[in-house]
Structure 1
Amino acid sequence: MSKKILIVRTSSLGDLVHMLPAISDIALHVPGAQIDWIVEEGFAEIPTWHPAVHEVIPVAHRRWRKHWWSAETRAARAALRQNLGARQYDIVLDMQALMKSVWLVRQTHGLRHGLDRKSAREPLASFFYDVKHTVKFWQPAVTRQRELAAAALGYTYSGEPDFGLESITGGVDVESYAVIMPSASRDDKLWPEEDWQKVFTRLHEHGLDLKLLSGSPAETARAQQLVAGNARAQVLPRMALTDVARVLAGARIMVGLDSGLTHLSAGLGRPTIGIYKASTPVRTPLEGPAYTASLGERGSAPSAETVLSAVDQALDFDESAHTQLTGGDAPA
């Protein structure tokens, strides 16, 4: 008989990417597991990429909280409550440990697992779980998620993280371009324009064109300003997450600020360099099967020279890996 498991992890993009190896572990160690996943509607594509996810249950908390007591929102929340109330799970696993995730957990039926008071980001959340688990806080996010899933489901995991993204990477050819993510949701994450220009020049020297990502009109304007007059660069229009993932999967390299898309690139197995300035990479380093570099620290951005060195190492690594895999020439 299959074990029915409900994962509660609604956001954000990078955190959902960090969840994927835990899903692979569950699929490997719990034969026949039926895994459903509650996720914020804007990120609902991400769980569908993993072959072990049975059903995605979208929630619109970010949209609802703007008009929490409107008739439309109350009706939508009632529909979600009815949907969750009609389901019976063997295990409900809150991988977020926030009060907003507890609000969802309390509407479910099943043995509720989560982090204990000392492990949770919001300790109050731990009081609403039937079974509480200790997971050391100052560990990479991927490790924390894998450890929590293993503790809740009673197995021991091993090996490097498997992000389960073959549905995206399968059949995608790597081409001669670099993906750049120069924008972020917060201005204190931004990197100086003159440093970006040095990186662009080095990537062009490696024979690569540039594709810049942006998610808002302000980010688009910033990206366009960065590459104004550069005939070998384009700012991509806003796309669905699956389309962005395919662009990332086809890149020789990705260089970006600490963002969800940068973490996605690493998970897709592309050489990826992350520039940290307003956050620490201790808890959220880039992780993936190819070369990654998590550069900088909260309050201390990496120098252009440090990033340029990582670019050279990443491309050398990628060329060597390609040659070993094919026994032929590296991509141009």
Structure 2
Amino acid sequence: MTLPQLPSLANVKRLLIVKTSSIGDILHALPAVEAIQRARPDISIDWVVRKRCASVLEGNPVIRALHVVPNKPTMRDLLSVRRDLRARRYDCALDLQGLGLSGLLTWLSGAPIRIGIDRNREGNAYFLTHPIVSAKLGGEHGDRHAVDILYGFSELFGAHPKRGEFPEQRYLTDGIASEVLVDVRALPCPRVALNVGASWEYKKWPVGYWVELADTLIEQGRSIVFVGDSKDAEVVGQVKIKMRAAEPIVDVSGRTSSLRELAAVLESCDVLVTGDTGPMHMGVAVGTPTVALFGATNSDRTGPYGARNIVLNMHLSCSPCYRKPTCDGRVDCMRAITPGMALEAVDRELAMGKRVA
């Protein structure tokens, strides 16, 4: 396939970013969008996002306007979005999602230049005027981090991104105050956040491992903050009931009212231990050193970005399997990561101190 040559972007003044979800994917795109703004302060940047993720972008100083679409948009919704987008008269739209809906929204914008990755997942490439071979963005063999691949888009606009560092997103926690935060900040330091839940069973660390890690941390004088949404509260309860220690612990699972409040909780902690989840990326975004437990997914592509964070991944021959495990549900890759390994990683992070932006 012969790809059309990318035209000059020097005259682009109105840019639309299309990255509708999920939390981690949106956070991955922020460094690239910031790099575009630094390189081209003359460009006005807007963003299309699904409603469930919109709060992550609200208040971002780089973004002029958000176009919020329903989580499951109807044809009427899409026609309404089309009117709003075309009224802005965008010069260029970037499909940073690479899926069918994002491609459609990119096309609906009416932008004469529509750029995205030439993977044609769900037919998204048919909506683009200029699909880019992923190898040119650093992602040919699947061993480049998503942040680095997205940085490749910023280079199209003349940016020279500082790879390897995730710029702290201070706006995420500006002005956040709540009883939950008061409870967390009343704990003695160091505070270790434990995110025990995950969206896939194959991303979960065994409950007994969390119990052993939490008890040992408390014995060593650390405070524990359990984080997660309402779906995670049950497994947090299973961990707590098996623990020897009852304090110092604050359980905020299911108590944080927004993604921004969760971000503020994580910022108030000295280390985060987590699986491959949205809160992992949120912790990185607010500058909390992160210990990430990986097995079924590719830590090279979606692990916590930046050298300061620690990934524990045993790299079994069957890993990453994603949603096609070959271990009959034993989750060998996660069981191979012992509580002792996680404890050592927490110790290393605490010894280095809280990251300074």
Which range moved further: 13-22 or 122-131?
A: 122-131
Residue 36 and residue 140 in structure 1: after superposition, are their counterparts in 2 closer, same or farther (change >3 A)? Answer: same
Mapped contact 1:275–1:295 kept (Cα < 8 A): yes
Aligned to 2:121: 122
Letter in structure 1 aligned against 2:130? V
User: How far apart are residue 304 of structure 1 and its match?
Assistant: 1.9
1:310 maps to what in 2? 345
What letter corresponds to residue 152 of structure 2 in structure 1? E
* Counterpart Cα distance in 2 of 1:115 and 1:25: 19
How far off is 1:150 after superposition? 1.8
Once the two structures are superposed, the pairs formed by residues 63-74 of structure 1 within 5 Å of their partners are 63-64=72-73, 73-74=74-75
Are 2:255 and 1:216 aligned? Answer: no
Shift of residue 94 of structure 1?
0.5
Letter in 2 for 1:292: N
Q: How does 1:148-187 map to 2 (within 5 A)?
A: 148-151=153-156, 153-168=157-172, 176-187=190-201
Report which stretch shifted further, 31-40 or 222-231.
222-231
Instruction: Name the aligned partner's letter for residue 78 of structure 2.
Output: R
Kindly indicate whether residue 261 of structure 2 is the aligned counterpart of residue 259 of structure 1.
no
C-alpha distance in 2, partners of 1:189/1:58?
A: 30
Asked whether 1:293 is paired with 2:310, we answer yes
CA separation of 1:115 and 1:104: change in aligned 2, threshold 3 A: same
What's the counterpart of residue 30 of structure 1?
40
Q: CA deviation at 1:82?
A: 1.7
Counterpart position of 1:69: none
Instruction: State the match for 2:106 in structure 1.
Output: 105
Inter-CA distance 142–241: structure 2 relative to 1 (3 Å threshold)? same
Letter of the 1:99 counterpart: G
Query: Do structure 1's residue 233 and structure 2's residue 234 form an aligned pair?
Result: no
Rate the CA distance shift 1:206–1:55 in 2: closer, same or farther, 3 A: farther
1:86 alignment partner in structure 2 = 87
Distance in 1, matches of 2:171 and 2:160, equals 26
CA 1:81–1:273 in 2, change beyond 3 Å: closer, same or farther?
Answer: same
Q: Percent identity?
A: 25
**Quick check: 1:182–1:257 contact (8 Å CA) kept in 2?**
yes
Tell me if the contact between 1:269 and 1:288 (Cα under 8 Å) persists in the aligned partners. no
Separation in 2 of the partners of 1:254 and 1:32? 38
SS in 2 for 1:254: strand
Secondary structure of 1:48 counterpart? coil
How many Å apart are 1:96 and its aligned residue?
A: 1.0
In the other structure, the counterpart of 1:70 is none
Partner residue in 2 for 1:77: 78
Write the distance in 1 (CA, Å) between the matches of 2:172 and 2:145.
24
Aligned match of 2:210 in 178, 186, 196? 196
* Deviation sequence 1:13-60 (CA, Å, 0-9, x none): 111111111111011101222110101111101122431111111111
Q: 4+ residue stretches of structure 1 with deviation over 6 A? A: 170-174
Change (3 A) 1:123 1:42: closer
* Structure 2 Cα separation of the partners of residues 257 and 80 of structure 1: 35
Q: Does 1:59 align with 2:69?
A: yes
- 1:180-205 CA deviation, whole Å, 9 max, x = no partner? 11011111211112211222123224
Instruction: Quote the Cα distance in structure 1 between the aligned partners of 2:203 and 2:129.
Output: 39
- Supply the AA of the counterpart residue of 2:240: V
Deviates more, 1:7-16 or 1:229-238: 229-238
Q: If the length of structure 1 is used for normalisation, what is the TM-score?
A: 0.84
What is the identity, as a one-letter code, of the residue corresponding to 2:57? P
Q: Is the 8 A contact 2:208 2:239 kept in 1?
A: no
User: Residues 250 and 171 of structure 1: is their aligned pair in 2 closer, same or farther, counting only changes over 3 Å?
Assistant: farther
The CA deviation at 1:226 is: 0.8
TM-fit CA distance, 1:74? 4.0
Q: 1:6, 1:35 within 8 Å by CA — same for their partners in 2?
A: yes
8 Å Cα contact 1:273/1:292 also seen in 2? yes
- Distance in 2 (alpha carbons) for counterparts of 1:317 and 1:213: 23
Q: SS at 2:42's partner residue?
A: coil
| TM-superposed deviation, 1:267 | 2.0
5+ unaligned residues in a row in structure 2: which ranges?
1-10, 177-184, 321-331
Q: Cα distance 1:33–1:205, how it changes in 2: closer, same or farther (>3 A)?
A: farther
In structure 1, runs of 5+ residues without a counterpart are: 65-72, 326-332
Distance 1:17 1:281, change over 3 A: same
Contact map agreement 1:182 1:213 (CA 8 A) in 2? yes
